């Protein structure tokens, strides 16, 4: 954790920029804006979602975006609320954590809504690039859930 005495203008700018990446991540998924979602990652991204979807460690940003789109596009709606960002910045790298509630909605063939709500946290390795801060590696740890998990596989 960065000590209060070490905080300077650049640290505040970096914290805001890191949080912007995480906010763009959520907006990209929920708006189905895959270009915005992709802009959050380095090309060599490692995404580890084994805490939610067993066996799902993905290498490469383009591959990950395609996998996320395939999972999310069929859903009626999603809402990813990513909060409580904590950033530990060391020059051009940062370790970050944020908390998550992710709602996934689906309508069954009869029009009845089903939902699956996930709670947990993300851990990120972030790097400063020529295009700003990016997620290089991240994982999702699910701490609780509610609803019908088959929403994510239907």
Q: pLDDT for 74-110, tens place per residue? A: 999 999 999 999 999 999 999 999 999 999 999 888 8
Domain span at 106: 4-153
14: left (phi over 0), alpha (psi -120 to 50) or beta: alpha
Nearest one of 104, 143, 105, 103 to 122, comparing CA atoms: 143
pLDDT digits (tens, 9 = 90+) for 52-84: 877 778 999 999 999 999 999 999 999 999 999
Q: How far apart are CA 26 and CA 82, in angstroms?
A: 7
Total tally of structural domains belonging to the chain:
1
Q: Which long-range contacts (CB under 8 A, 24 or more apart) does 17-21 make?
A: 17/132, 17/133, 18/85, 18/87, 18/89, 18/94, 18/96, 18/126, 18/133, 19/85, 19/87, 20/133, 21/126, 21/132, 21/133, 21/134, 21/135
At 33, which CATH number?
3.10.450.50
Torsion 129-8-94-143 (CA) sign: negative
> Whole-prediction pTM value?
0.91
Residue 76 contacts residue 113 (beta carbons within 8 Å): yes
């Amino acid at each position: 954790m960065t000590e209060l005495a070490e905080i300077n203008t650049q640290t505040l700018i970096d914290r805001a920029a890191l949080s912007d990446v995480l906010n763009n991540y959520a907006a990209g998924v929920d708006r189905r804006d895959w270009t915005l979602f992709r802009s959050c990652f380095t090309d060599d991204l490692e995404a580890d979602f084994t805490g939610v979807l067993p066996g799902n460690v993905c290498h490469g940003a383009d591959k990950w975006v395609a996998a996320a789109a395939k999972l999310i596009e069929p859903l009626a709606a999603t809402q990813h609320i990513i909060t409580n960002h904590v950033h530990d910045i060391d020059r051009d790298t940062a370790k970050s954590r944020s908390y998550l509630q992710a709602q996934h909605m689906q309508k069954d063939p009869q029009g009845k809504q089903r939902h699956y709500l996930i709670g947990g946290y993300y851990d990120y390795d972030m790097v400063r690039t020529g295009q700003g801060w990016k997620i290089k590696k991240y994982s999702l740890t699910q701490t609780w859930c509610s609803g019908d998990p088959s929403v994510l596989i239907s």
